[in-house]
Amino acid sequence: MLEETISLRYKIAGGDFSNAGYASSQIKKRLQKLNIHQKLIKKIVIALYEAEINVVAHAYNAVIIVNIDNDKICVNIKDNGPGIPDINQAMEKGYSTASSKIREMGFGAGMGLSNIKKNSDKLEIRSKVNEGTEINIINYRIYPRNENN
């Protein structure tokens, strides 16, 4: 079987709320063109959008790389930013370090990371305070066939 990976790459700027979501929107369109199942696209795009908003709200800038394989789609977001001191705490619903300006924009309710988790088959978060955060969101396209099933 021919294996190929399609790779998409976007740069995003922190603090740019009016353009936030542009990368996610472009990626959504590309995924639609690749005939990926609509439900899967929705999962990926919601996780991606929440991650994009996190960068805009908290980081200086970031690079998004989306790798589309035959069996899975990986979204990798690596930012330069303050980092997350306590990842477990950050994952708690309702926990937020957002400024009041961000809350008034409709974000910062502390649901971003849990929305990302809810929409990923596998989620990896690595972070270093004063350096930045890297998130890997993996969603499988076809569940691997198990001989025992």
Partner 1 sequence: MKIIDLVNKLGLEILSGNNGLDRTVSGGYTSDLLSDVIANAEANNIWITLQTHKNVMAIASLKDLSAVILINDNKPEEDTREQSNSEGIPILGTKEKAFEISAKIYELLNNNSKVNL
Partner 2 sequence: MEINEVVNILNANIVCGATYLDKDVEFGFASDLMSDVLTLDAENILLITGLSNMQTVRTVEMSDIYIVILARGKKASKEMIELANESGMMIIECEYSMFKTAGLLYEAGLKAVY
Q: What residue ranges bind partner 2 (CB under 8 A)?
A: 17-21, 24-25, 28, 38, 42, 45-46, 49-50, 53, 105-107, 109, 111-112, 115, 118
Please, which residue, 5 or 89, has the CB nearer to partner 2?
89
Residue type, 113: L
Residues 6+ away with beta carbon under 8 Å from 146: none
Tokens in use for 112?
Answer: 């971003």
CB distance 62 to 14 below 8 Å: yes
CA distance 48 to 116: 7
Tokens in use for 83?
Answer: 């980092």
> Which partner, partner 1, partner 2, none, binds residue 112 by CB below 5 to 8 Å per kind?
partner 2
Q: Which is nearest to 28 in space by CA: 5, 8, 11, 57? A: 8
Site for partner 1 in 69-98 (CB under 8 A): 94
> Which partner, partner 2, partner 1, none, binds residue 21 by CB below 5 to 8 Å per kind?
partner 2
Binding residues for partner 1, rule CB under 8 A, total 6
Please, which residue, 20 or 68, has the CB nearer to partner 2?
20
Minimum CB separation from partner 1 for residue 94, in Å?
6
Q: Does 109 bind partner 1 (CB under 8 A)?
A: yes
Minimum CB separation from partner 2 for residue 51, in Å?
11
β-strand partners of 13: 61
DSSP state of 143: P
Residues lying near partner 1 in the complex (CB under 8 A): 94, 100, 103-104, 106, 109
